[in-house]
Amino acid sequence: MIRFLQQPGPIKKIVLGGLLVVVCVMMVITLVPGGMLGDYFNRGGLTTQGVLAKVGDQEITETAVRQQARMDGQRQFKGNIPDALMPYLMQRAAQNVITQKAVVYEADRMGLGVSDEELRDYMHQGELGKVLFPGGVFIGEDTYERMIDATYHIGVQAFEQEVKGEIAQQKLLAAIASAVTVSDKGIREELLKQDTKAKFQYAVLSLDDIKKQINPTDTELKAFYEKNKQQYANSIPQKIKAKYILIDTKNLEQQASITPQELQQYYRQHEDEFRIPETVTVRHILIKTPPPDANGKVDQKAVDAARAQAEDIAKQLKAGANFADLAKKYSQDESTSKDGGLLPPITRGRTVPEFEQAAFNTPVGQTTGVVRTSYGFHIIHVEAKQEARLKPLDEVKSEIEPILKKQKAQAQAENVANAIQALAKTAGLDKAAQQRNLTVTTTGLISQSDQLPGIGSAPEFMNQLQIAKKNDPPALAPTPAGYAVYQVTEIQPPQTPTFEQVKDSVEQQFKNQRAESLLEQKTQQLADRAHSEHDLEKAAKEAGATVKTSDLESRTSQMPELGAMSGPISVVFTMKPGEISGPLQAGNNGVVVKVLEVQGPTDAQIKQDWDKARESLLEQKREEFENLYVENLRNTLEKQGKIKINQKEMERVTSAAGS
């Protein structure tokens, strides 16, 4: 699957020629008048079930979007995704995936598709390269497949296709961004903005202090509840009662028996899975060489020094030194040095040619001389070799049997579930369960987020329960442990709580709104009084606020009561000494400031920070330009019919029922 990763070729340069830049810039200019994105649920005539959209000829499935939504949610909520947020996560993931595929589509259209060679080079580099090719040696096909499955829950082919899409996006956006420039005037203005410091007095009024003074009566709270009753409408979610028969595949697996003929048949059909390729197990010591610089030049002195060190280690080995000890001491392959340089078994085609040739051609127990690869200088000691062979059936029987049992149990469970469902439709769940010596589980009133008796968490089954109608004919649903034949017996619709049920939250909301209003009013009064008196300290004393004095602060400063100086308080950097601000809001505080001193950057500081400011400003402008380009690209592709939205499916999966 990943055979083309055998050898690292030269790293491809992403920055394209001037002609491509001109084409991209003209494209952006052409696209800009479209402005805002159109309605995402607008056109296309796409009706395929399970397909949410189509970009070019590539379908975007519900499965892919749901997987992306769950990955996003797990990152955001550390694995515990609130059910109520899944519709939002699905909607966001769907739009992100569509936009991503639109950029890949455009990259392909402009001839920026990614070859296998480019993919190979990319996967040898950076953090991905460190994981897949520690010390320049591939981790192995099985490990690679398991890692991709565990991390992304997709196959290797799909993963590599996604990586190609990422590279294509990078190429296109790099070409677009390369047209962006910044002027010296812009850089100087950015430096003045970044490096200006200010010292000021500030008076703070606290929202929490004001809130403590608010003590509403029940009459006020009831009036507030009635006025805002719509906010609480149906806030108690729907609850249902259901009964179901569980068909557990694990029990069926334990009862399943596998015949010798079935084992033999599976073995013959899957022989390729049981072939062991020729392997060699080695230890190695790596002395790295520096990569070429941006101009492709190599530091020859550093290369010569690395070669000399490797040759010195080789001499120590010839003199009888222990290989593992020297690997721990000298090897620069961090992933193996702690284990004495030991690598997992290597198959042919899984490392660079020079390393492979030396490893496979050296007898067991022997050590090579210094071997040069693109990673540096290696010394290799061969520990063991394994000839290619086919594992006999007796050796893999214990691997095959659980697979066949699971397949049998799955098929049997499905047949049993279908039979129980058919019987339950005519005789009822209780009689159907009795005939199969199974039990009927009955729930209490449960909502979407509750655990199911005998099952636990089962989102897909719960979704079906929530959309079922009372006393519908028994239906069938998958569960984490097998299947369930179920029927909903009672539905309690969403309800609006009474005042007494939500009194505490009503009181909290009342206090918050009243305090926010009073804070705004008092801060305005403080600012007005400070301006009329030309004296912040006097006005603050009258308002019951204490005036404090800051140090010289920059936009990157953080202050306990004011928060980030890049926020609303940044107004101080545009004011003159002696000036008093209007009312400002800093988090939960109302603030008025008086500037005491403003200190701009010196010429020396401007010179020192010039390059850094230039890069920062360029990055900001590139991001803005890229966002504009992508936004208008998608809008144009939708108008051209290159992006088609399946409105019915999109609305289904992004609604509460579709979560």
Which structural domains are found in the chain, ordered by start? 3-181+620-658 (1.10.4030), 197-207+501-599 (3.10.50), 239-264+394-492 (3.10.50), 278-387 (3.10.50.40)
If you average pLDDT over residues 561-587, what whole number do you get? Answer: 93
Q: Estimate to the nearest angstrom the gap between the alpha carbon of 504 and the chain centroid.
A: 37
Overall residue count recorded for the chain in this entry:
659
If you average pLDDT over residues 329-352, what whole number do you get? Answer: 89
Q: How confident is the model at residue 446 (pLDDT cuts 50, 70, 90)?
A: very high
Q: How confident is the model at residue 384 (pLDDT cuts 50, 70, 90)?
A: very high
If you average pLDDT over residues 305-332, what whole number do you get? Answer: 95
Is residue 468 predicted with pLDDT exceeding 50? yes
Of 19 and 579, the one with more pLDDT: 579
Is residue 294 predicted with pLDDT exceeding 70? no
Q: How confident is the model at residue 2 (pLDDT cuts 50, 70, 90)?
A: very low
Phi/psi of residue 91, each to 5°?
A: -65, -45
pLDDT of residue 201: 95
pLDDT over 70 percentage in the chain: 90
pLDDT of residue 658: 42
pLDDT of residue 121: 78
Of 154 and 401, the one with more pLDDT: 401
Interatomic CA distance for residues 157 and 13, integer angstroms = 25
pLDDT tens-digit series, residues 30-57: 333 333 223 333 344 577 888 888 998 8
Place of tokens 């699957």: 1
Q: How confident is the model at residue 365 (pLDDT cuts 50, 70, 90)?
A: very high
Is residue 472 predicted with pLDDT exceeding 60? yes
pLDDT of residue 116: 78
Q: Considering only CA atoms, which of 498, 481, 486, 335 is closest in space to residue 413? A: 481
pLDDT of residue 83: 67
If you average pLDDT over residues 603-611, what whole number do you get? Answer: 86
Is residue 501 predicted with pLDDT exceeding 60? yes
pLDDT of residue 43: 41
- DSSP string for residues in 387-450: --EEPPHHHHHHHHHHHHHHHHHHHHHHHHHHHHHHHHHHH-HHHHHHHTT--EEE--SB-TTS
Place of tokens 């070429």: 292
pLDDT of residue 42: 38
pLDDT of residue 649: 85
pLDDT of residue 490: 95
Q: How confident is the model at residue 295 (pLDDT cuts 50, 70, 90)?
A: low
pLDDT of residue 276: 87
Q: Which two tokens stand for residue 461?
A: 């089954």
Interatomic CA distance for residues 68 and 90, integer angstroms = 8
pLDDT of residue 1: 36
pLDDT of residue 82: 67
pLDDT tens-digit series, residues 220-247: 999 999 998 888 888 888 999 999 999 9
pLDDT of residue 154: 76
Least-confidence region, from 124-128, 209-213, 524-528: 124-128
If you average pLDDT over residues 192-215, what whole number do you get? Answer: 92
pLDDT tens-digit series, residues 91-119: 888 898 898 888 888 888 888 878 877 88
Q: How confident is the model at residue 80 (pLDDT cuts 50, 70, 90)?
A: low
Is residue 515 predicted with pLDDT exceeding 50? yes
Interatomic CA distance for residues 452 and 164, integer angstroms = 42
Instruction: Output the CA torsion 651→652→657→659 (10° steps).
Output: -90
Phi/psi of residue 247, each to 5°?
A: -115, 110
Is residue 61 predicted with pLDDT exceeding 50? yes
| Average pLDDT value for the chain | 85
